[in-house]
Structures are given as C-alpha cells and as structure tokens.
Amino acid sequence: MIVVMKPLSPQKEVEHVIQLVREMGLKEHVIVGEERTVIAVIGDDRFKDRSVLESAPGVDRVVPILAPYKMASIEIKKDRTVVPLGAAAGGKIGGMKIGVIAGPCSVESKSQLLEIAHAVKEAGAVGLRGGAFKPRTNPYSFQGLAEKGLELLALAREQTGLAVVTEVMSIDQVGLVNRYADVLQVGARNMQNFNLLNAVGEQRKPVLLKRGMSATLEEFLLAAEYIMSRGNTQVMLCERGIRTYEEYVRNTLALAAVPELRRVSHLPVVVDPSQGTGKSYLVDSMCRAAVAAGADGLIIEVHNDPEHAMTDGAQSITPKMFSEMMKAIKRIAEAVDREV
Ligand code: PEP
Ligand code: MN
C-alpha cells in the first residue's frame, strides 16, 4: 500500500508513519515529491490493519498498490526515474534525452576495445558495453577475458569518459565486477536468478536488467522488484527480444513492451536491437522504431571487424553504421519530443 501524506506535512509526522509501518513488521520506502511525501509500504500487508495508518496525523489517504510489484510500479511514483550512469561523460538513461550504450558483445583485446570505444564516443554514445564474463550456450565457446576484460574496460573509460556497462553472471563475481563497472548488467539467462538479483540489489551501482527470453512483463517487473526491494532503486529495464517459433530473427524484439512498461512502471526502458534481431542489417531499423516507440535508451553491439568477432559478429554493426544510425535517431527523437 501507499501512504500519501498531506501537502507540506512536517518531517515529524512522516517519521511517525515510518515508525508505525515498522511496528507492523513492514518496510518503508519514502519518496519525497515536490508537493508531498509518499511512503510506499513494502512487504506482505494482506492481513495488516491499515486504519492505524489512515488515522495517523498528517496522513491524507492510504491506497492499495494493485500491481504485484510495488517499488517498480507507476502507482507509487508518477515522475519517471532517471538513472545517472556515473562516469565522466555524464550520461543518463531516462528523462528527455535518450542515452545510447554501444560497444562490442565481448571484450577481445586492447586494440579492439579502444578503437570501438573512441568511435562510439565520437558518434555520441554515453556508455560503453562489452562482456568480460560471457554466458555462452556452448561450454567450449569463448567465455570472455574475465578480469583482464574488466581492466580493459576501465582503461577505455579513462580514455573516453564513457560509463562501463558489463555483465555479472554470478553472486561471487559481484564484488569484482563492481570494482570496475559503472553499470552492472544482469543477462537474460539470469533474469530469474533471484540470489543474484538480491546481490546486485545490495550494492549501489545502477543495474541494467535484461528481460528473460521467456519471461512475461510481469515476471520481468518482479525481477526488477527483487533488486529494488534490497534498496537499489537504480534499475533500467532492457527489452532484448523473446523466443518465439519465428526463425528469420534470433529473438523476436517485442517493441510493444516499450510503451507498456512505461505505462505500468516509472523505470527507464532500454532496447537491445542486437540480441533482439541477431542480424546486423535489421539493427538500424529497430533502433529507429525503438526511439519512435518511446525507448529511454538503446544498447547496441558495435564491432570494428564483425566478420572476425569472437561473439555475435552477425548482429554487430560497424562504427560507420553506428554513426549513421545515430544521425537518423536524432531526427526521430525530435519528432517524438526527445533528444539524443
Ligand atoms: C549480451 O548483451 O551480449 C547478452 C548476452 O545479452 P542477453 O543476456 O540479452 O542475451
Ligand atoms: Mn551479445
């Protein structure tokens, strides 16, 4: 439920409500708005007596949250969340400006990463992607450079100012990845790894949460809720396509998820047209469509030599294609009252 305080209610009254919430065995999440404060009450409140809260001084009303996810729901927060990516480039995801994260699927070498990082920065990206730990279907495939890859990402950040976005695959990697990354990526295959979600929820770097390839939007939002309920509210939802019977694409990019997620949640929505199509020649069109559909950000695989990429070459665009795409989405962003 949500406790809506009266406009300009004093801090003392807010604190009293928090105390009552805790006495009920529930947790509070306070959202200070311009005019009034709202207290989201988190936990299983089915059998709790809300009249205690209703009659507390300064309380305007107590409203049940209908969605099963609470902190991720638009019901508790009407203004949209903006996630600062936290590097010198000063990029953000959410708000008026659309943030673009780009880079190779995997970090392969120093020259590969630096060349791509400088090129995408030049074209207007705010974040650099690149996997150091790769979730591969085949155990004999390239698994990523691990810590060496993280060091290269940190070097690329130093040279470009781009925020580093990289995947963390397990709880025991969280500490290590956290030391190098600006944003922790939780991959599609781990979207319902609840222990990992809790672990990234315990730290304070932003999280890019990818939709599981067979997850419903409700399951996706409940995964975000796991992270947020541990205190980390800096979550970005990433639509990366789902498994269907269709074979002309690697995954079916569900772009209707963009406006739907924005309708039910205040969290920013990022689209990954690379995993979302598996075909480099489809990426440009899907970037345009994502921006037109209201995406807050894009994450795109860019490679300087896609033919020889160690992972996902077929869906990687070249720096030149990336820079043309950036020009195209600038025009589309303007048409939908946004900027890139
Ligand atoms: C990736 O971004 O390279 C990746 C493995 O993504 P996903 O988890 O969406 O498959
Ligand atoms: Mn990939």
Per-residue pLDDT band for 44 (boundaries 50, 70, 90) equals confident
pLDDT tens per residue, range 216-234: 999 999 999 999 999 999 9
Instruction: Give yes or no for residue 33 having a pLDDT over 90.
Output: no
Q: What is the rounded CA–CA span in Å between residue 226 and residue 297?
A: 22
Mean predicted confidence (pLDDT) in 49-65: 93
Q: How high is the pLDDT of residue 244?
A: 97
Q: How far is the CA of 106 from the centre of ligand 2 (A)?
A: 7
Q: Give the residue among 69, 20, 99 at the shortest CA–CA distance from 229.
A: 69
Q: Say if residue 87's pLDDT is above 90.
A: no
Report the 10 Å Cβ neighbour count for 166.
24
Q: Give how far Cα 87 sits from Cα of 112, 126, 195, 202, 212, Å.
A: 21, 9, 28, 21, 28
pLDDT recorded at residue 78: 87
Confidence band (pLDDT; 50, 70, 90) for 32?
confident
Q: Take atom 3 of ligand 1 and give the residue whose Cα is closest.
A: 105
> Which pLDDT does position 82 carry in this prediction?
97
Q: Is the pLDDT of residue 35 over 90?
A: no
Predicted local distance difference test score (pLDDT) of residue 17: 97
pLDDT above 90 for 279: yes
Residue 54 has pLDDT above 90, yes or no: yes
Nearest ligand 1 atom to the CA of 240 is 9
Question: Cβ(131) to ligand 1 under 6 A?
Answer: yes
Residue 301, pLDDT > 90, answer yes
Is residue 34 over pLDDT 90? no
Nearest CA to ligand 1 atom 4: 187
Report whether residue 240 contacts ligand 1, using a CB cutoff of 6 Å: yes
Q: Taking Cα atoms as reference points, which of 15, 64, 27 lies closest to residue 229?
A: 27
The residue whose CB lies within 8 Å of the most ligand 1 atoms, and thus the one to mutate among 133, 167, 186, is 167
Please compute the mean of the pLDDT values over residues 200-208 and round it to a whole number.
Answer: 97
Instruction: Say if CB 120 and CB 126 are below 8 A apart.
Output: no
Is 88 a residue whose pLDDT tops 90?
A: no
Q: Is the CB of 99 under 6 A from ligand 1?
A: no
pLDDT > 90: what percent of the chain? Answer: 91
Please give the biggest Cα pair distance in the chain. 67
pLDDT in tens, 137-170: 999 999 999 999 999 999 999 999 999 999 999 9
Mean pLDDT of 309-321: 98
Tens digits of per-residue pLDDT, 100-117?
Answer: 999 999 999 999 999 999
Q: Report CA 328 to chain centroid distance, whole Å.
A: 23
- For residue 49, name the pLDDT band (cuts at 50, 70, 90): confident
Counting ligand 1 atoms within 8 A of each CB, the residue from 275, 310, 312, 316 with the most, and so the one to mutate, is: 275
Ligand having the closest approach to the CA of 238 = 1
> pTM of the prediction?
0.95
